[in-house]
Amino acid sequence: MERHHAADPDRRRFLQVAGGGLGVGLLAALTPRAWAQTGAAPLKIGSIGAGRMGSALGALFIKAGHPVMFSSRHPENLKELAARLGPLAQVGTVEQAVAFGDVVVLVVPYSALEEIGKTYGRAIASKPLVLDICNPIGRRDGDAIVKWANEQGGAGLASAKLLPGAHIVRAFNGISYRRVGDIAHRPGGLVGVPIAGDDPKAISLAEGIIRGMGFEPVLVGGLPMGKYLLPGTPLAEEHTPAEIRQIANTLH
Ligand SMILES: NC(=O)c1ccc[n+]([C@@H]2O[C@H](COP(=O)([O-])OP(=O)(O)OC[C@H]3O[C@@H](n4cnc5c(N)ncnc54)[C@H](OP(=O)(O)O)[C@@H]3O)[C@@H](O)[C@H]2O)c1
């Protein structure tokens, strides 16, 4: 059954946000069918990184009706992924994905963020939402990066330093790529996704996208709380929204 849009508070809130920040072109692209199916407007998503987590999340964005351009340093290797995910998926260079996206998703090793920030930072900062999935992990990124990120106040504030002016929301940082597809739209109660960000419009957009993917976003605080959105913290793994709120209260 189609949802009654006029009575849908999520949609009303999103329209206010989108109308205020994203302009007429994007609003014109919204189709009632996609609204009805996902509860969130289709947004073009530029994914920087399309490995284990990038492809798992990309599949969920596409399932929710969002066109996705996957990118990496080797886009030629991503053609098979895009073909498997259907007509909403395409492949491009990082530059093309940044230009394509209404929203940019960063899903690369943390050690890649500095270079990405230097090369594409200005274009990334012009987007109303940058979803930061990236985690500083010693065994992959090196202990110096982990130490540096901690000195900045944790992953959220560190990402903000690497991407000046970007409207960052951290999300999905503690959920495994192996699980994220299986637990979307969990019957009997959605899995919560803790998010952290400072920009209200970016947060609203992120919430709409995450709901459409079949999860319940739970804002746990501003970017300083991003330090808890990592594997191995109490907020990592799979929790109900109520559990996330309870855990987050103990972390302030
Ligand atoms: N795996 C998980 O379950 C999981 C869960 C939550 C969060 N995360 C976080 O998500 C991020 C990605 O993890 P992953 O497991 O998906 O890693 P992965 O499988 O190694 O994929 C990394 C992707 O980033 C691309 N990449 C690397 N350097 C790049 C650069 N300089 N510019 C553009 N693209 C670049 C890689 O492609 P090319 O090498 O071809 O450029 C690849 O597509 C990490 O920060 C991780 O901590 C992962």
pLDDT (average), residues 168-180: 98
Please tell me the distance between residue 21's alpha carbon and the centre of ligand 1 in angstroms.
29
What tens digit of pLDDT does each residue of 67-90 get?
A: 999 999 999 999 999 999 999 999
Q: How far is CA 155 from the centre of its chain?
A: 15
CA dist list (Å): 6 to 2, 49, 66: 12, 37, 22
Nearest-5° angle of CA 105, CA 164, CA 26? 45
Is 132 a residue whose pLDDT tops 90?
A: yes
**pTM for the predicted model, two decimal places:** 0.89
Q: How confident is the model at residue 40 (pLDDT cuts 50, 70, 90)?
A: low
pLDDT score recorded for residue 41: 79
Please tell me the distance between residue 72's alpha carbon and the centre of ligand 1 in angstroms.
9
What tens digit of pLDDT does each residue of 189-247 get?
A: 999 999 999 999 999 999 999 999 999 999 999 999 999 999 999 999 999 999 999 99
Contacts of 143 (CB under 8 A, 6+ apart): none
Please tell me the distance between residue 50's alpha carbon and the centre of ligand 1 in angstroms.
7
Q: Looking at this protein, which amino acid is placed at residue 90?
A: Q
> How far apart are the C-alpha atoms of 237 and 243, rounded to whole Å?
11
- Size of the chain, expressed as the number of residues it contains: 252
Which atom belonging to ligand 1 lies closest to the Cα atom of 54?
A: 16
Q: Which residue has the higher pLDDT, 148 or 27?
A: 148
pLDDT score recorded for residue 5: 34
pLDDT score recorded for residue 25: 38
Is 98 a residue whose pLDDT tops 80?
A: yes
192-197 and 168-170 strand pairing = antiparallel
> How far apart are the C-alpha atoms of 226 and 173, rounded to whole Å?
9
Is 155 a residue whose pLDDT tops 70?
A: yes
Average pLDDT, the chain: 88
